[in-house]
Amino acid sequence: MVLAALVLLAGLYFSRKTHFCQRRCLALSLRALGQGGEAGVSPLEALGAALSGTMGVGTLLAVGTALRLGGPGALVWMWAGGFLGMAVKYGETYLCLRHRAPSPGGAGREAAGPMAVLQGACRRPGWARAYAFFCLCACLFSIGNMSQARALSTVLQANTALPPLACAGLLLAALLPLACLGPARLGRLCGVVFPAVALLFACGCLLCLWRCRQALPGVLAAVLAEGLSPRAFLSGSGWAALRYGVSRGVFSNEAGLGTSAMAHALAGARDPKAQAGLGMAEVFLNTHLLCTLAALVLLCAPGGLQDQDGARLALNAFGAVLGRPGRLLVSGMVVFFGLSTMPVWLLYGRRAAAFLLPRAPARPLAAGFGGLYLLCAFLGALAGTELLWRAADLLNLGLCVPNLYMLFLRREEIAASLEREGKGRRGARGRG
Q: How much is the pLDDT for 269?
A: 56
CATH number at residue 244: 1.20.1740.10
pLDDT cut 90: percent of the chain above it: 19
pLDDT in tens, 182-234: 777 777 777 777 788 888 889 999 999 999 999 999 999 988 888 888 877 77
* Residue with more model confidence, 266 or 216: 216
Query: Is 123 part of a structural domain of the chain?
Result: yes
* Residue with more model confidence, 314 or 212: 212
Query: Is 60 part of a structural domain of the chain?
Result: yes
- Is residue 348 within 8 Å of 266, Cβ to Cβ? no
Look at 188-202, 317-331, 393-407 and tell me which has the smallest mean pLDDT.
188-202
Query: Is 416 part of a structural domain of the chain?
Result: no
* Residue with more model confidence, 56 or 319: 319
Rounded distance between C-alpha atoms, residue 60 and residue 63, angstroms: 5
pLDDT score of 176 more than 90:
no
pLDDT confidence bin for 408, thresholds 50/70/90: very high
- Measured between its terminal Cα atoms, the distance across the chain in Å is 50
pLDDT confidence bin for 429, thresholds 50/70/90: very low
Q: How much is the pLDDT for 238?
A: 78
pLDDT confidence bin for 394, thresholds 50/70/90: confident
Bridge partners of 102, per DSSP, are 110
Q: How much is the pLDDT for 143?
A: 79
Q: How much is the pLDDT for 105?
A: 47
pLDDT in tens, 353-382: 989 988 888 888 888 888 899 898 888 888
pLDDT confidence bin for 428, thresholds 50/70/90: very low
Q: Flag whether the pTM goes above 0.95.
A: no
Q: How much is the pLDDT for 111?
A: 64
CA 190 to centroid of chain Cα atoms? 14
Per the structure, how many domains does the chain have? 1
pLDDT score of 413 more than 90:
yes
Q: How much is the pLDDT for 110?
A: 59
Look at 37-41, 44-48, 134-138, 318-322 and tell me which has the smallest mean pLDDT.
37-41
Q: How much is the pLDDT for 107?
A: 41
Query: Is 426 part of a structural domain of the chain?
Result: no
Q: How much is the pLDDT for 32?
A: 75
Orientation of helix 237-253 relative to helix 385-409, angle to 10°: 80
Query: Is 335 part of a structural domain of the chain?
Result: yes
pLDDT score of 126 more than 90:
yes
Rounded distance between C-alpha atoms, residue 413 and residue 388, angstroms: 37
* Residue with more model confidence, 325 or 309: 325
Could you tell me which residues come within 8 angstroms of residue 62 by beta carbon, excluding any fewer than 6 positions away? 248, 249, 251, 252, 291, 310
Sort residue 304 into left (φ over 0), alpha (ψ -120 to 50) or beta.
Answer: left
Query: Is 374 part of a structural domain of the chain?
Result: yes
What mean pLDDT is reported for the chain?
82
pLDDT in tens, 338-352: 888 888 888 899 889
Q: How much is the pLDDT for 286?
A: 87
Give buried/exposed letters for 369-396 (b at 16+ CB in 10 A, else e): bbebbbebbbbbbebebeebbebbbebb
Bridge partners of 111, per DSSP, are 101
Residue 136 CB neighbours (<10 A): 22
pLDDT score of 275 more than 50:
yes
Query: Is 421 part of a structural domain of the chain?
Result: no
Q: How much is the pLDDT for 108?
A: 43
Look at 108-112, 260-264, 314-318 and tell me which has the smallest mean pLDDT.
108-112
- Is residue 66 within 8 Å of 245, Cβ to Cβ? yes
The range of the structural domain enclosing residue 287 comes to 39-411
Query: Is 28 part of a structural domain of the chain?
Result: no
CA 65 to centroid of chain Cα atoms? 16
